[in-house]
Amino acid sequence: MTIALSPQQVAELKESFDTFDRNGDGTISRRELHSLLYTVGHKTKTDDILSEYDVDNSGTIDFEEFLKLVDVLIKNKVEGN
């Protein structure tokens, strides 16, 4: 099941994405992802997240991949995982 996000939520997530995309290249690098995970208190290893959500194997997370990651994080929080 995918969490339905409103246009406002997507815009807010884009702002968050852009905050962690420090060099402004439209992707979150491994280093930027590590910072993001640390900031939100997520304990999963950065490499594990990259291997699961970097579907194009670019070594980075783009915004679409980021939305899929956020979707899972929200579902896990709702389910208490």
Domains of the chain, with CATH numbers? 7-79 (1.10.238.10)
58: how many CB neighbours lie within 10 A of its CB?
12
The confidence score (pLDDT) of residue 37 equals 87
The confidence score (pLDDT) of residue 8 equals 95
Collect all residues with Cβ–Cβ distance below 8 Å to 43 and sequence separation of at least 6: none
Does the structure show a pLDDT above 90 at 19? yes
pTM value is 0.83
The string of pLDDT tens digits covering residues 29-74 is 999 999 988 888 888 899 999 999 999 999 999 999 999 988 887 7
Place of tokens 């900031």: 39
Nearest to 3 by CA among 56, 78, 55: 78
Using CA atoms, how far apart are residues 21 and 76, in angstroms rounded to an integer? 24
